[in-house]
């Protein structure tokens, strides 16, 4: 019903424009653009991002300075790239050391699972991070071990499938078994699967259809970690164990599907891995936004494609097996009591299609890969196997073993036979839940500990001895928030070219639609309300009034439609004589705008990268208006507009004050916690997590960047976006800061009896006090 009301309001706006004529504001051109300007804004940003994704292939070169003069010089020259890859994958925590392999029985006293004439299979567990283990199978040859391999299955395969103990993988694709038959010690870890069995909190009655990988991804992403990074750590912990002896056999990694992805990243990060097979995964590409969200990596496309990851593997050997990948049509189907998963699919592709895509991805780095090959005296920079649609076939295994052993090696193929599993009580589901719960618990602890981290890295470095010193000490953090968390776009490339048309004629003010250009296809749009009693040369304050999720400027400005959320607060302020501007923010269109976040993240950007630049341009234009006091431009936003109130004024000091309504929160907990029913962990708002926000900026830290400017929180007791206790706890840090700065009068919080809405009482007084209007 509310959506229909908003659509009707848009239609009324168009009709009123027709009746009022097209007289523009002075110093602007007539606005002739028709249709839904909000939808056009989202489409324009989409076009910009698609161009930038395509351009990222060429732009990556600026991040790479490889030195091919020697292997040692090369390794040193790409180490900064490797460190940045570790950071965006979340491979930043120290692993448990030393790694002790635990042999475990599953319903039997013995850890022995099965035995052949050539090898034994054990059930094993090894530590990775505090409270986090990896589990799987160990295949131990009975004779001399010639090589050691971490064999990574796809997320839907169990280790038992990969060694022939359980159905599900064709015998000729059971590469873990085949490698053991060829005298390799093989460790087969379990991966987090794509089911949704435990994705939620049954105690709260909040379950989702998010794949387990997405559920962990969401909470980990906010904390600067990643489900991919966690599983790479598990691979590297296995490598730690395989390296326990000084003169150990060579180590390789062989992965398929999700396991192929992990194999590529693990090899790119760890030079102890001497040969790698990536099967059923073509590497990251500019279309990764179409894949499941648990493959979303902040800033990846900006610096790393398949060619760049191959460069990090060099001069070690990389085998690309162009077999079909997993076919994933989307997350588990929504059903009663379960929903909220992000869209995303994986296409298998034929071996010829995958081979063509691989060569296309590698073309951008062909010259550097060839230089690296010559440096390492290799005939080819990487080896390609495309003989089969399925992984683990003899030609691929032969390439892998030859690369690992440093000599041409033929694969021994033993007679195919099934292996009996002697375990009586193996429960793969219980084992999967155990590993899932460990990663959930580890990430929840990161959330609980993050306040101490922010205290050390943020608050301890602020100088509160004077306002001048304080503001100077804030600048590095403002830069960090903009460049590393939000993502900073270049300055606008187009003149603002303001265009306007009148859409409102009220007793006390007129209203105008306004557009301002930023980049090709990207523009800012909003509604300006100008009081009729402005005198020539008079300067008045501006209040920028921001709508929330799926909202429009008309929600804020239309005096004839007072919704229960906005109460036409922009129109109310214009009635009081303020100049009011209501911008359109691009969080509208449901998945259409959420996909913008998916496309922006690989570039190290976010939706707020555009919102910040749009507001910056808006302030540029407002400052040119003859009756605007550029020193008194304030911000007031509700809901997603409150989210804007925390981020944009923190980055744009020209906003002289900020009011956050219906959003202020213990924001990190709101995104990560599983103990709060309204946590974003349970919702369909999959764009909410911001990479590593949890260890850098909660709402108190953002407000600290607004200080010493006035800051206020408006909070309804019954507002479901949070709870009073969380809001008060986070706000107390701000109150303390303003007190230490000796400006306690510049910050306030108002609790009122009500819900998710503009109350407009204490906030209006706050505006009057600090903007000195009305007189």
Residue 485, pLDDT score: 98
Residue 21, pLDDT score: 55
DSSP 335: B
* Chain segment 170-183, per-residue pLDDT in tens: 999 999 999 999 99
**Sorting pLDDT into bands at 50, 70 and 90, what band is 389?**
confident
* Chain segment 295-328, per-residue pLDDT in tens: 999 999 999 999 999 999 999 999 999 999 999 9
* Chain segment 116-129, per-residue pLDDT in tens: 999 999 999 999 99
The span from the CA of 641 to the CA of 351, in Å, is: 48
Residue 360, pLDDT score: 86
Residue 770, pLDDT score: 98
Residue 3, pLDDT score: 45
H helix intervals, 22-134: 37-59, 71-77, 79-89
Burial class (CB in 10 A: 0-12, 13-18, 19+), 548: buried
Question: Helix or strand or coil: residue 528?
Answer: strand
Which of 133-142, 186-195, 557-566 is least confident? 557-566
Which of 19-23, 564-568, 748-752 is least confident? 19-23
CA distances from 422 to 26, 38, 108, 122 (A): 85, 63, 8, 11
The span from the CA of 264 to the CA of 255, in Å, is: 8
The span from the CA of 437 to the CA of 724, in Å, is: 29
**Sorting pLDDT into bands at 50, 70 and 90, what band is 413?**
confident
Residue 22, pLDDT score: 58
The span from the CA of 141 to the CA of 121, in Å, is: 9
Comparing C-alpha atoms, which of 346, 347, 345, 354 is closest to residue 388?
A: 354
- Return the percentage of the chain with pLDDT > 90, whole number: 88
Q: What DSSP element (H or E) covers 252?
A: strand 251-256
Residue 18, pLDDT score: 43
The span from the CA of 449 to the CA of 201, in Å, is: 21
Most distant CA pair in the chain: distance in Å?
97
Neighbours of 322 (CB within 10 A): 28
* Chain segment 727-752, per-residue pLDDT in tens: 999 999 999 999 999 999 999 999 99
**pTM for the predicted model, two decimal places:** 0.95
More confident residue, 359 or 249: 249
The span from the CA of 127 to the CA of 233, in Å, is: 10
User: Rounded to an integer, what is the distance from CA 510 to the centroid of its chain?
Assistant: 42
Q: For the residues 684-712, what does the mean pLDDT come to?
A: 98
More confident residue, 732 or 378: 732
User: Rounded to an integer, what is the distance from CA 445 to the centroid of its chain?
Assistant: 20
């Amino acid at each position: 019903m509310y959506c229909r009301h908003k659509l009707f309001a848009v239609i009324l706006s168009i009709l009123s424009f027709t009746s009022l004529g097209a007289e523009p504001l002075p110093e602007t051109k007539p606005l002739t653009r028709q249709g839904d300007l909000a939808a056009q804004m989202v489409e324009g940003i989409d076009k910009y991002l698609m161009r930038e994704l395509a351009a990222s292939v060429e732009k990556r070169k600026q991040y790479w300075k490889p030195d091919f003069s020697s292997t040692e010089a090369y390794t040193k020259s790409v180490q900064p790239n490797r460190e940045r890859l570790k950071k965006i994958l979340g491979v930043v925590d120290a692993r448990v050391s030393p790694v002790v392999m635990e042999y475990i029985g599953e319903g039997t006293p013995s850890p022995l699972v099965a035995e052949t004439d050539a090898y034994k299979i054990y059930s094993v567990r090894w530590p990775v991070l505090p409270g986090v283990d990896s589990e799987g199978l160990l295949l131990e040859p009975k004779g001399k071990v010639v090589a050691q391999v971490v064999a990574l299955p796809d997320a839907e395969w169990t280790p038992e499938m990969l060694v022939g103990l359980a159905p599900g993988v064709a015998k000729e694709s059971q590469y873990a078994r085949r490698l053991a038959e060829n005298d390799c010690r093989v460790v087969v870890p379990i991966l987090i699967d794509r089911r949704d069995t435990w994705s939620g909190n049954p105690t709260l009655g909040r379950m989702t259809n998010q794949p387990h990988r997405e559920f962990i991804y969401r909470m980990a992403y906010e904390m600067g970690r990643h489900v991919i990074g966690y599983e790479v750590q598990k691979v590297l912990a296995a490598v730690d164990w395989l390296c326990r002896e000084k003169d150990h056999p060579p180590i390789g990694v062989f992965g398929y599907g999700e396991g192929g992805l992990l194999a590529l990243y693990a090899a790119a990060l760890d030079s102890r891995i001497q040969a790698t097979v990536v099967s059923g995964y073509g590497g990251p590409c500019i279309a990764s936004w179409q894949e499941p969200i648990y493959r979303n990596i902040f800033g990846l496309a900006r610096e790393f494609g398949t060619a760049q990851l191959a460069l990090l593997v060099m001069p070690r050997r990389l085998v690309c097996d162009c077999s079909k990948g997993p076919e994933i049509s989307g997350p588990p189907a929504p059903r009663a009591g379960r929903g909220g998963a992000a869209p995303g699919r994986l296409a298998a592709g034929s071996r010829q299609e995958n081979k063509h895509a691989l060569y296309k991805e590698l073309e951008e780095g062909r010259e550097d890969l060839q230089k690296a090959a010559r440096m390492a005296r290799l005939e080819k920079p990487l080896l390609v196997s495309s003989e089969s649609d399925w992984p683990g076939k003899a030609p691929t295994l032969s390439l892998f073993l030859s690369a690992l052993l440093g000599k041409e090696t033929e694969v021994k193929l033993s007679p195919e036979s099934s292996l009996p599993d002697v375990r009586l009580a193996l429960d793969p589901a219980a084992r999967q839940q155990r590993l899932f719960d460990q990663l959930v618990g580890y990430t929840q602890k990161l959330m609980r500990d993050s306040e101490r981290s922010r205290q050390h890295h943020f608050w301890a470095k602020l100088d509160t001895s004077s306002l001048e010193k304080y503001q100077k000490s804030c600048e590095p953090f403002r830069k960090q928030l903009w460049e590393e968390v939000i993502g900073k776009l270049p300055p606008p490339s187009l003149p603002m070219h303001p265009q306007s048309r009148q859409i409102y004629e009220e007793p006390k003010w007129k209203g105008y639609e306004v557009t301002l250009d930023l980049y090709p296809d990207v523009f800012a749009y909003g509604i300006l309300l100008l009081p009729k009693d402005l005198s020539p040369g008079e300067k008045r304050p501006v209040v920028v009034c921001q709508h929330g999720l799926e909202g429009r400027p008309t929600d804020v400005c239309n005096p004839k439609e007072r919704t229960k959320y906005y109460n036409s607060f922009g129109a109310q302020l214009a009635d009081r004589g303020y100049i009011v501007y209501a911008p359109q923010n691009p969080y509208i269109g449901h998945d259409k705008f959420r996909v913008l976040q998916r496309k922006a993240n690989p570039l190290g950007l976010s939706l707020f990268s555009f919102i910040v630049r749009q507001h910056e341009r808006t302030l540029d234009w407002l400052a040119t208006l003859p009756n605007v006091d550029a020193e008194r431009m304030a911000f007031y936003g509700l809901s997603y507009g409150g989210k804007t109130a925390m981020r944009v004024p923190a980055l744009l000091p020209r906003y002289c004050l900020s009011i956050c309504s219906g959003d202020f929160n213990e924001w990190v907990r709101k995104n990560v916690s599983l103990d709060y029913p309204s946590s974003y962990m349970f919702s369909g708002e999959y764009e909410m997590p911001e990479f590593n926000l949890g260890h850098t900026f909660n709402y108190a830290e953002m407000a600290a960047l607004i200080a010493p400017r006035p800051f206020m929180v408006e909070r309804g007791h019954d507002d479901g976006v949070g709870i009073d206790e969380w809001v008060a706890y986070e706000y107390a840090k701000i109150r303390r800061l303003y007190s230490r700065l000796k400006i306690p009068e510049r910050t306030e919080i108002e609790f009122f009896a009500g819900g998710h809405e503009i109350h407009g009482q204490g906030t209006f007084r706050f505006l009057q006090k600090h903007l000195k209007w009305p007189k």
